[in-house]
Chain A
Amino acid sequence: MHDRLWLFLATLGYLASAGWGLYALGSQRPIANRFTFLLIAGAFVFHTLFLYQRGQAIGHCPITNLFETLAFFSWSLVLTYLVVGPAYRMSILGAFTAPIVFLVNFFALAAPIDLHVVMPPLGWQLELHATLALLGLGVLGIAALAGMAYLIQEHQLKSHAITSWFYSLPNVGRLEHVQQRILIWGFVIFSAGALLGFFIPHQSAQDWVKIAWSAVVWSLYAVLIVVLGLGRLSHKKIALCSVAGYVFILLTFWGINSLSEAHVFPHEG
């Protein structure tokens, strides 16, 4: 079976999860939200199969081109959701996660970016660096989605507009707590990945575009974490910054990775 088919099936699964998740959010049926988690978990199995098969085929962690990087990035988002959802009783975040993952995967599958790259062995440091960085971005993504859920619930409470979403979404206190915890975890993992990049021996010139982008992203979140620690901003503003920061990542990720020379190796075909 061609490995792209697994990703295609996973993407269909995320589309179904997104549709069901939105229905569950607005439905008057408390049980409906549980199925969102199960649907996403099912799609995640296909997603993982794709990464495994691709990894076996290329003999590397499957992040050797933009297509694989996007697939790995969206996989990180789902992995974080699957850990955070049950741990914090936040399965409802699936309704926000699934549409984002679907869009990223759809874009990866539709765009002509799955270019075959012949690579030398990357070494564990490089693979760990890239894996941690992408995983960190995934965790920061779930933090942003928790922030979005917070903003929606906060808006409902402020405007006195009690819709069916009011009952599905958790209370703002828990959303605030969970969002802050995930934000800190995402920052720590992303920082570890970025830091590891400095210790990797390079055969070619430094990839300054990606280094600059990573520095900007890291600085944005570092400031946010410091402000969070100081307690100077309201949580609404923290949530807004978290969402805005991630929108910036999503909008620039494609461009930066296209411009980036990180995956240009001496033997590239």
Chain B
Amino acid sequence: MSAHVICGGLTFEQVPVELREKVAFRDAQLPGALAEMRCFLGLREAVLVSTCNRVEYFGATDSPEHAAAAWPNFLRRFHAVEDDFAPLSFQLRDLPCVEHLFSVASGLKSMVVGETEILGQLKDAYDVARTQGQTGKWLNRLFQSSFAAAKSVRSRTAITRGSVSVGSVSVELAEKIFGELPGCRVMVIGAGETSERTARSLLNHGVRSILVANRTFERAQSLAAELGGEAIRWEEWEEHALAVDIIISSTSAPHYVLTHDRLAALLKRRGRRPLFLIDLAVPRDFEPSINLLDDTFLYDIDDLQSIAHAHLRERQTEISRSMEILKPHVERYMTWAVRQATDGGGIETGLVTT
């Protein structure tokens, strides 16, 4: 009898979110679900990964067919749902399984290619399994190798480079203008949803001081409370602009809120400090010629979106290079596995999709 390293489950590529959300495992559920799954699927070793975009199992087993058949039933039983997951589930064995995990860990199979959150999620899932004693030589080696492979891809390619959302592009630009963000002061003009998200991205990267100005003061107070900032009255925002480093604007004003001449006058009083202006409004709040002023960096929503799209395209082009980097890591694991097979339970290569 020979052992197989297998993986399978549901991913965003085949399964819509309406179904994925029915079978996602909460952190608190994971240890219990893992033990039950291992028993139900007849796995010698097991790791269960549950994220927004994938619910997958990894295991070592003598009977991949049994695991493939039992997986949809396990989901139905554990989550008490009636849906048939068999046609939507995949299973990979041995070499394709190893390639799959290494690619997933490197962010190559993520919805947003190159995102790094998945590596942390895999590490967490592996830690849960290892702590519970659900892993052994096959999966320990497999997961540790996948982490090393992912690190190699991240350091040797641009797969993670460049932000791919308006908020993260804004953060990236702010970091290229100011360096460290904790010392930066931000002002939000207009309490729109996009400006709120962008402000949150900046807060997540260390910005501590946020002012919120809105024509309706109550709305400014409400958003300021949510962001942990301070609300200011609409008529005071220009005066406060002298002290801030980043201004995010998304008002519904039909005209420019800030013109070139007005800002030029403000800059004279402000001193020689860079000013980053993020205009998320349509029609735009800041007169475009503001960008001609020295030490002033103006980006509107189209600029930010086009940078995000360009980054995404660049990441796509890095996939083949990343696959080349993964090859020796995969080969090393397979060589080790074959050597193990000669000592004990064997490992074969194969692919089964159910």
Contact = CB atoms under 8 A, between A and B. Distances in A.
A171 B157 contact: no
Contacts of A173: 177-179, 274
B272 interface: yes
A157 B294 contact: no
Interface string B239-271: 000000000000000000000000000000001
Interface stretch (B99-107, B123-131, B295-303, B327-335): B295-303
B175 interface: yes
A236 B295 contact: yes
A162 B307 contact: yes
A174 B179 CA distance: 7
Given A157-B173, A173-B178, A231-B272, A31 B307 contact: no
Given A30-B155, A231-B272, A157 B295 contact: no
20 contacts: A29-B157, A29-B158, A31-B155, A157-B173, A157-B176, A157-B177, A157-B297, A158-B297, A160-B299, A160-B303, A162-B162, A162-B310, A164-B158, A171-B176, A171-B178, A172-B176, A173-B179, A174-B179, A231-B272, A235-B272
A237 interface: yes
Contact of B176 (A166, A234, A236): A166
Contacts of A31: 155-156
Interface in A22-45: 28-31
A107 interface: no
Contacts of A28: 157-158, 161, 318
B295 A171 contact: no
Interface magnitude class on chain B: 20 to 34
A167 interface: yes
Contact of B177 (A29, A164, A172, A231): A172
Interface of B: 155-158, 161-162, 173, 175-179, 271-272, 274, 291, 294-295, 297, 299, 303, 306-307, 310, 318
A233 B272 CA distance: 8
A69 B32 CA distance: 77
B156 A171 contact: no
Given A157-B173, A160-B303, A167-B161, A237 B178 contact: no
Contacts, number: 55
Contact of B307 (A160, A172, A231): A160
Interface magnitude class on chain A: 20 to 34
A191 interface: no
Given A157-B173, A171-B179, A173-B179, A237 B161 contact: no
A74 interface: no
Interface in A52-79: none
A224 B234 CA distance: 40
Given A171-B179, A234-B294, 6 more contacts: A160-B306, A171-B176, A173-B178, A233-B272, A235-B272, A236-B294
Contacts of B272: 231, 233-235
A235 B156 contact: no
A29 B155 CA distance: 7
A153 interface: yes
Contacts of B178: 171, 173
A233 B162 CA distance: 32
Contacts of A174: 179
A213 B164 CA distance: 52
Interface string A210-241: 00000000000000000000010111110000
Most buried by B among A170, A174, A234, A237: A234
Nearest to B178: A173
Interface string A148-164: 00000100011010101
A133 B81 CA distance: 82
A234 B270 CA distance: 12
Contact of B274 (A162, A172, A231): A172
Contacts of B176: 153, 157, 166, 171-172
Interface string A171-203: 111100000000000000000000000000000
A234 B162 CA distance: 29
Contact of A171 (B158, B177, B299, B318): B177
Nearest to B318: A28
Contacts of A157: 173, 176-177, 297
